[in-house]
A and B are shown apart, each in its own frame.
Chain A
Amino acid sequence: MHRRDILQWIAAAAFAGPAMAQDMTGMAGHAMASRDSVPPPPPHTPFAPARHAALERLVQLVIPADDTPGAREAGVPAFIEMMHQHWMNEEERRRCDAELDLVMAAFASGAAIPAALYEGARFKAPTLRKLTIYGYYTSEVGASEELTLNLVPGAYDACAQVGAQDRAPSLNSWGIALSLANPGAL
C-alpha cells in the first residue's frame, strides 16, 4: 500500500461520506507528512567489481528467485554495501570482509556450490546470511511481494483464519521486529 492510498484510506475510514471526492486529507482534517520529509539512504561506494560480483552471487544463493524475485533483484547487495560503509563497526566490517573472502575462495575452488559454502553443518558466512535476510525482507520486493505488507490495516482481528497459501506479514506492531532496531551487534 502506498502512501497516497493510505491517505485515502484514512479519510474514507474515519469520515466516509459523499464528500469523498474532495481533498481527502483536508476533509478529514488530518494532515500528514510529505513523503519527502525523510532522507534517502546515504550514498555508498560499491565493493570492488570482483567482490561485488561474489556478493551478488552469494545473496542470490541465500534467497533465490522463484515466483518472486530473489535477493539480488531486490537490491540486497547495495544494502549490504551501504551497511558495511555507514552502519557496521570495525569488528563487524572485518568479519564481513573475512566471510566474503571465504565465499570467494569457495567459488574459485571449482567445488560444488552450495556444499563448498559449508564447513560441516555450519554456513561459512553467517553475518552475510543474516544481512541478506534483513535486506531482503525490508526491501520493497521482499516486504510487499514475497510477504504481505499492509501499512494501514484499518481494522483488527485478533485471531483471523490463515490459509496454507497465505503469506506472512512483513511488519509487526513495532513496524519491524523490535529486537532488530538499534541492535548492539550483528
Chain B
Amino acid sequence: MDADVIVVGSGISGGWAAKELTERGFSVLLLERGRHIEPGTDYVTEHLAPYEMPYRGFGDRQRYARDFKVQSHLAGLSDANDHWFVNDTENPYQTRPEAEFTWIRGYHLGGRSITWGRASFRLSDLNFSEAGSDGHGIRWPIGYADLEPWYSHVERFIGVNGDRDGIPSLPDGEFMPPHGMNCAEEHVKQAIAARFDGRPMINERSAVLTKAIGDRAPCHYCGPCIRGCSTGSYFSSESSTLPAARATGRLKVMTDVVVDALVHDQASGRVTGVRVIDAKSRKRSTLAARVVFLNASTLGSTQILLNSIDAETGRSFANRSDALGRYLMDHVMGPFGTATIPGYLDREPLGNRPSGIYIPRFQNLAGQDKPFRRGYGYQGSAARAMWTRGSSGEDIGLALKQRLRQPGPWQMFIGAMGECMPYADNRVTLSDKVDAWGRPQLDVAFHWHANELAMARDMASEARAMLEAAGGTDVVTGDALGPGGLAIHEMGTARMGHDPAEAVLNAHNQCHDALNVFVTDGACMTASAAQNPSLTYMALTARAAAFAADQMKQGTL
C-alpha cells in the first residue's frame, strides 16, 4: 500500500478530503496533475500595479488566440492571472459548435481554489426536495438535515462572512461580520424591498476573512483575489486545508502526476489502486490504497472513471447505471442588468471589497409562479465609475483629463445565476483522440434546453424591473446565454442517487459499483440548485470522508 487513501486532485474538494482523512488518523497520498505552488512566493502578480505587468492587465492577446482559445472565453483573463489557466493547445478536448462546452480550468496545486469566486451559500430543504419531484432529474439520496452539521463544520474552518438573514430557502450559517454594503447598494436594496414582496437583497456570503483565523489574516482589501493571497485571507487549499493536512504528518503530496484510470478487481468488486503517468517523463506506474477519493474536478473525475475499463466487459466498472458522463449541468449565467444610480456623489468606497450583494431566488418558492421550473438569484455590486468611462466620448484635452479626475456616477450591476436541469444528452464521453499522455480525450456536448432559455429571459426582465424601481437610469439588460461552462460550475456527471440503476454514487458518495471509491467533487451533484456550489462540495466531502474513516476503522472498507 502506498497510503490508506489516495486523493486525486488538490482543489477545493480534494484539499478537504486530505484534511479530514489525515486528521482522522489515515495516511493520504494526494495526487495533483499540475505543478507545485508555494503559497505567497508563487502568487507572482499579487499587488502588482498595471504598469508592472507586461500588458498592463490587458493580457497577451496574440498568445491567447493561439493557445488559450477556450480559456479566453473567460472575461477577465489577463496577464494578471493567465498563469492559473491551462494552455488549451496542450490540454485538448473535443466539443462541437452546435453543442459547445467551454471547459475553464487550471492545473496546479490548489486547482481552482486559488481562482474561485468565494461565494458560499448553503443549499436548502427546498433545493433537496425539488429534484426529481417535478419531472426533472432524480431524487437526492440525502436531505438538508444530513448536510447541515457539515456545512457548519466547513464554514467554521474556512471562514465565511455574511449576515444571518433568516431566509428559509437560503439557510443561515456560521458567519463572520460582512464587509457591508455601500450607500448605492443600500439605496437599491430599500427600493427593491419597498416595491417587491419577499425579495431581500443581502450581503453576499463569501469565504473571505473579516477576522483572523490562526495565522490567516483578515482581508486587506487589495481587490483581485484571483491573483492569490499571501496572507491567506480567502479560502484556498493552500491557505487552509493543505496546511492542516500537512500538520498531521500523514499527508504526502505528489505533483505532476496524471491519473490514467482506477484499477478495478472484478472478483472483489473493489478498486485496488490508481494507474498514474508522470506528467513530465510520461513514465507509467500503479499506486495502491484501501480507498480512493476522486476530486479531480467534475470532468476530470468523470474522465478517470470512464477510462477505468474492465477487461471482461470492455466498459467502465462504474457505469452500470449508464449515468456516468450524462446529466452535465452548468449554471444559467450571462443575463444581467446595469444602471446608473443617481446621487451619493459625495461618497465613495475606500478599499476594494472582494464580494458584493446577493438577491436570493424569489421565483417558484411556494408553488410555480413563473413559466419555468426552479429559479435563480443575482450577485452584484455598485461602484463609482472609473476612468475607463472616458474611452467612449469625443472629448480630448484638459476637459477630458479633468472629467476623469473625479470618480464617475454610481453604477449598479446585477448578474443572474440559475438552476440548470440535468439532461441525458448533455454528456461527456471518451473520444478516439488521445492527449499528450496517451489518455482518451473527453468529448463534451452541452446545450441549453427550453427551461434554461425561459429562465434567461426572465432574469433580464426582472433585472430591469428592479433597477428601474430603484430609480436607475441608463438601464441596460441582456438575456444572452453563451456556451455552457462559463459559470465554471460544471457538475452532475456521476450523480448521487439511491438506485444503482440510475445513479453512479450512493448517499455517502461511494460508487454503487465499487464501495471503496468516493467521488465528492461537482460530478456527484444530483441537481444544481441556483447557489454557487463549492461550499456544498466541501460539506459533502467532509461528510463522506468522516464516513469513510468510520468504515475503515470498523474494517468494513
Q: Which residues of A contact B (CB under 8 A)?
A: 3, 6, 9-10, 13-15, 28-35, 37-42, 61-64, 66, 79, 83, 86-87, 89, 114, 117-118, 121-123, 126, 129-130, 133-135, 137-140, 143-144, 146-147, 149, 151-164, 166-183
Contacts and interface: CB of A to CB of B under 8 A. Distances in A.
A99 to B, nearest CB: 13
B557 to A, nearest CB: 37
Given A138-B50, A143-B49, A168 B406 contact: yes
Contact of A156 (B52, B53, B221): B221
A130 B391 contact: yes
Contacts of A163: 346
B56 A87 contact: no
Contact of B383 (A62, A117, A157, A172): A172
Nearest to B51: A140
Given A10-B217, A14-B212, A168-B404, 18 more contacts: A13-B220, A30-B217, A31-B230, A33-B40, A33-B46, A38-B79, A39-B54, A64-B398, A152-B221, A153-B350, A153-B351, A153-B352, A156-B352, A158-B353, A160-B348, A171-B223, A176-B57, A177-B388
Contacts of A144: 49
B58 A6 contact: no
B354 A173 contact: yes
B40 A66 contact: no
Interface in B385-418: 386-388, 390-391, 394, 396-398, 400-401, 404-408
Contact of B353 (A126, A151, A156): A156
Contacts of B79: 38
Contacts of B42: 33
B394 A162 contact: no
B230 A182 contact: no
B347 to A, nearest CB: 4
Contacts of B354: 173
Contacts of B400: 62-63
A68 to B, nearest CB: 8
B315 interface: no
A180 B57 contact: yes
A137 B223 contact: no
Nearest to A149: B49
B76 A64 contact: no
A156 B72 contact: no
B47 A152 contact: yes
Contact of A31 (B39, B50, B222, B346): B39
B478 interface: no
Contacts of B212: 14
Contacts of B38: 31
A138 B51 CA distance: 6
Contacts of A129: 391, 396
Interface in B351-401: 351-354, 381, 383-384, 386-388, 390-391, 394, 396-398, 400-401
Contact of B183 (A35, A159, A179): A159
A154 B448 CA distance: 43
Given A133-B387, A156-B221, A182-B77, A30 B349 contact: no
Given A40-B54, A64-B397, A31 B40 contact: yes
Contacts of B46: 32-33
Contact of A123 (B219, B232, B396): B396
Given A133-B390, A144-B49, A160-B347, A114 B396 contact: yes
Given A138-B56, A152-B220, A162-B407, A173 B347 contact: no
A160 B350 contact: yes
A29 B243 CA distance: 13
Contacts of B80: 175-176, 181
Interface of B: 38-62, 64-65, 72, 74-80, 179-183, 212, 215, 217-224, 227, 230-232, 344-354, 381, 383-384, 386-388, 390-391, 394, 396-398, 400-401, 404-408
A61 B396 contact: yes
A161 B58 contact: no
Contacts of A38: 44-45, 48, 52-54, 79
B223 A175 contact: yes
Contacts of B348: 159-160, 162, 166, 168-169
Given A30-B231, A147-B405, A167-B405, A10 B50 contact: no
Contacts of A130: 391
Contacts of B396: 61-63, 114, 117, 123, 129
B384 A181 contact: no
A173 B346 CA distance: 20
A186 to B, nearest CB: 9
7 contacts: A30-B217, A33-B46, A38-B79, A61-B396, A169-B407, A171-B49, A173-B354
Contacts of B179: 156, 158
A84 B64 CA distance: 16
Given A63-B401, A183-B58, A156 B351 contact: yes
A138 B387 CA distance: 10
A139 B74 CA distance: 25
Contacts of A15: 217
A30 B40 CA distance: 7
Nearest to A74: B51
Contacts of B347: 159-162
Given A31-B39, A122-B394, A181 B231 contact: no
Nearest to A29: B215
Contacts of A41: 54-55
Contacts of A66: 398, 401
B223 A14 contact: no
Contacts of B72: 182
Given A137-B387, A183-B58, A168 B407 contact: yes
B236 to A, nearest CB: 14
B220 to A, nearest CB: 5
Nearest to B355: A173
Contacts of B391: 129-130, 133-134
A114 B399 CA distance: 13
Query: Can you list the 6 inter-chain pairs with the closest CB atoms, starting with the nearest?
Result: A31-B40, A14-B217, A156-B351, A175-B224, A138-B50, A153-B351
Contacts of B181: 158
A172 B179 CA distance: 16
Contacts of A135: 56
A154 B57 contact: no
Nearest to B179: A156
A29 B232 CA distance: 11
A112 B196 CA distance: 57
Contact of A168 (B53, B217, B405): B405
